[in-house]
Structure formats: structure tokens, C-alpha cells
Homo-oligomer: A and B are copies of this chain.
Amino acid sequence: MILNLSDYSNETLQHQLVQQIRALILSGDLEEGAQLPSIRGLATEQKVSVITVQRAYEALERHGLIQARRGKGFMVVALEPEERRRLALARFEAELHPQIEQARAEGLSSLELLASVSRLLDGTPA
């Protein structure tokens, strides 16, 4: 599995794992029913501890994205494309909402924020 973990990131290893596997699932790169690497396999491959992967997989399970089968491993659950889109949007908005509140509290207007977001989005193709 192609993952890009950094020991220098502000994000915990666990969080990096969750985010990157989540992206593979919600984008459809990891298909429903697909088998995830075993906890030990991924820990060895990514040179992290077993518990780090375990905790990441548990978080993804709580998010409803994967399911554990003891003795078999974890696999991707079946989600409609619309449901995947809904989950992605929900996460984005949940993260964005407090940032907007803080920016407003700091004196920025909706117009300024919208212009800022547009600039960030224009930086890369849709």
C-alpha cells in the first residue's frame, strides 16, 4: 500500500495513517470488499509499531469505513458513491466550521474568506 508517513509532520503517525487510508477508500482507489494489509504487514512495511496501525484501523472502523474479521483481517465496507461523497463533505465541513468561526472572530468578513478559499482552490485543477 502506497502511503506517505512522515516522522516530522505535526500530525501523529496514527492520524496520518487514518487520513491517507480514508482518502484511498473515499476516493474509490480502495474498492469495497478490498482486503486491507494485516496490522503486522502494514506495520512492517511502514516501519511503525503494530499498535500504531491497530489504533488507526480501529479509528477507521469507528468511522464506518472498514470492518475487522478476527483471523481474516480488515476489509473495506460497501458504500454507495453518494455515501462516500457525503462522508468526505461531512469531514471537510466539520473541520472548516470552527476555522470560519475563528476567522470571523478575528475580524474577517465572509467575502474575504470566500475570496481566500477561491484562491486556494484555483491553485490546482478541479
A-side interface residues toward B, CB under 8 Å?
Answer: 19-20, 22-23, 26-28, 84-85, 87-89, 91-93, 95-97, 99-100, 102-114, 116-118, 120-122, 124-126
- Complex partner residue of A27 from B28, B96, B105, B110, CB under 8 angstroms: B105
Q: A107 and B19 in contact (CB under 8 A), knowing A113-B121, A117-B114?
A: no
- Which residues from B are CB-within-8-Å of A99? 92, 95-96, 99
A122 to B29, CA, bound (A): 33
**Copies of this chain in the oligomer:** 2
Question: Does A124 contact B104, Cβ atoms closer than 8 Å?
Answer: yes
Chain B minimum-CB-distance residue to A102? B19
A97 to B119, CA, bound (A): 11
A21 to chain B, nearest CB (A): 11
Q: A113 and B92 in contact (CB under 8 A), knowing A28-B107, A102-B23?
A: yes
Residue among A20, A95, A125 with most chain B CB within 10 A: A95
